């Protein structure tokens, strides 16, 4: 039988309706990992703007160019501009005008400047807070020199006017107004309706109750929790009906970076509750459950893989003692080798030696 582990982390968890700071930091990390965001007006300006089109002029400054060295020792230099795009649409290049060529001093003298097939390229779109953004890559440097200015026009498809302009003066929007070149235009773009950030909204098992005990696990094994231990967390569990005790876990997987990818679902954990047979959970009663660390082997029918987490060593399990739904419980299974208690299994093999 697996060793019984005592739980060292018991924290009373109450969901706070206004968790703005936490959400804002997550979004901030997502944005800066997706783009090299600087002040959009430093080198780029909008020359003309319509509901579904833009003309942009970019002053090329050698000191602000990014560089990329390929495996063939060919180097590319580029600048970036971030543009908003209608959520249900796309962006396309509609026109391009290049300024005069000037000499260019390479930072890497041993590398050859790559001959660019395209001056303008678009990144894959990223979804942030239900709105779509694209990074425009401008490659102004050729083997013959550097274009001092690049002017290009883009066309938008999709719903460019939804009849209602975005009004939001949050710190997030203020940051985006300095980072997205066509921020003012994008206020009327069609966006994805996303209620996952609605204040006070919880889905899954957390919709039923606002009080949970957070249990952090860092080893695979069978764990034991007593009523006294759970009460010490600050949330009273003793005296509750045994059947109302439930536990959930999100799998301990690392969250995907793109917001559009599905979040993990919470699965209920089967419990074994020893309550003396009276149906009430008391201080000396206890719960048994099997838990896994975030770093563990995964066995399925097709492969064996090792799952690891880059940011934590603790897998979180959530326990609630006031559920109106009866909790999932462990069941007995026949563990005999041949399906018969006390039975035997015969095994033989051939061995050849020289």
Instruction: Compute the distance between CA of residue 129 and CA of residue 36 in angstroms, rounded to an integer.
Output: 18
Instruction: Compute the distance between CA of residue 51 and CA of residue 65 in angstroms, rounded to an integer.
Output: 30
Residues 6+ apart with CB under 8 A from 303: none
Residue extents of the structural domains in the chain: 4-17+200-320, 20-186
Q: Which of 166, 176, 191, 175 is nearest to 83 (CA)?
A: 176
Q: DSSP 3-state assignment of 226?
A: strand
Assigned token pair, 349: 């093999």
Q: Which of 340, 290, 278, 303 is nearest to 3 (CA)?
A: 290
pLDDT of residue 22: 41
Q: Are 119 and 112 in contact (CB under 8 A)?
A: no
For every one of its 354 residues, what pLDDT tens digit does the chain have, with 9 covering 90 and above?
Answer: 345 554 544 444 433 333 444 444 444 444 444 444 445 557 899 999 888 899 999 999 888 888 888 878 888 889 999 999 988 889 999 999 999 999 887 665 556 676 667 899 999 998 887 888 999 999 999 888 899 999 999 999 988 776 555 556 678 788 888 889 988 888 888 777 654 444 444 467 888 788 899 999 999 999 999 999 999 988 899 999 999 999 999 989 888 887 778 888 899 999 999 999 999 999 999 999 999 999 988 887 787 888 889 999 999 999 999 988 899 999 988 777 666 666 776 777 777 776
Instruction: Compute the distance between CA of residue 104 and CA of residue 144 in angstroms, rounded to an integer.
Output: 8
The secondary element (H helix, E strand) that includes residue 81 is strand 74-85
Q: What are residue 294's phi and psi, to 5 degrees?
A: -70, -30
Q: What is the CATH number of domain 20-186?
A: 2.60.40
Q: Which of 210, 213, 209 is nearest to 233 (CA)?
A: 213
Whole-model pTM above 0.75?
no
pLDDT of residue 241: 94
User: How far is the CA of 328 from the CAs of 272, 276, 339, in angstroms?
Assistant: 9, 18, 25
Assigned token pair, 336: 């005999």
Instruction: Compute the distance between CA of residue 185 and CA of residue 53 in angstroms, rounded to an integer.
Output: 10
Residues 6+ apart with CB under 8 A from 328: 246, 268, 269, 270, 271
pLDDT of residue 26: 43
Q: DSSP 3-state assignment of 59?
A: strand
Q: What are residue 276's phi and psi, to 5 degrees?
A: 80, 0
pLDDT of residue 30: 45
pLDDT of residue 271: 97
pLDDT of residue 166: 55
Q: Are 270 and 289 in contact (CB under 8 A)?
A: yes
pLDDT of residue 168: 61
């Amino acid at each position: 039988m697996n060793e019984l582990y005592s739980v060292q982390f018991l924290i009373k968890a109450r969901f706070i309706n206004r968790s703005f700071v936490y959400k804002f930091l997550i979004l901030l990390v997502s944005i800066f990992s997706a783009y090299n965001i600087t002040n959009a007006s430093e080198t780029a300006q909008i020359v003309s703007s319509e509901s579904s089109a833009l003309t942009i002029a970019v002053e090329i400054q050698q000191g602000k160019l990014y560089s990329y060295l390929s495996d063939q020792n060919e180097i590319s230099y580029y600048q970036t501009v971030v543009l908003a795009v209608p959520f249900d649409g796309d962006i396309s290049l509609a026109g391009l005008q290049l300024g005069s060529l000037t000499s260019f001093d390479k930072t890497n003298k041993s590398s050859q400047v790559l001959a660019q097939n395209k001056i303008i390229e678009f990144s894959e779109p990223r979804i942030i807070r239900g709105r779509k953004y694209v990074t425009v890559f401008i490659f102004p440097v050729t083997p013959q020199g550097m274009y001092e200015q690049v002017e290009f026009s883009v066309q938008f498809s999709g719903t460019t006017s939804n009849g209602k302009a975005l009004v939001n003066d949050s710190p997030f929007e203020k940051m985006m107004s300095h980072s997205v070149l066509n921020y003012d235009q994008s206020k009327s773009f069609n966006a994805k309706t996303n209620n996952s950030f609605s204040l006070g909204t919880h889905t899954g098992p957390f919709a039923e109750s606002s009080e949970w005990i957070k249990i952090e696990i860092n080893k695979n094994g069978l764990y034991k929790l007593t009523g006294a231990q759970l009460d010490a967390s600050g949330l009273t569990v003793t005296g509750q009906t045994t059947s109302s005790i439930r536990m959930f876990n999100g799998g301990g997987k690392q969250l995907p970076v793109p917001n559009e990818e599905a979040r993990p679902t919470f699965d209920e954990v089967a419990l074994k509750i020893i309550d003396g047979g009276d149906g009430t959970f008391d201080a000396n009663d206890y719960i048994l459950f099997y838990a896994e660390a975030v770093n563990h082997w995964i066995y399925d029918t097709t492969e064996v893989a090792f799952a690891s987490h880059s940011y934590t060593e603790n897998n979180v399990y959530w326990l609630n003692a006031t559920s109106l739904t009866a909790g999932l419980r462990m069941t007995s299974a026949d563990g005999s080798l041949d399906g018969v208690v006390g039975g035997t299994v015969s095994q033989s093999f051939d061995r050849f030696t020289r």
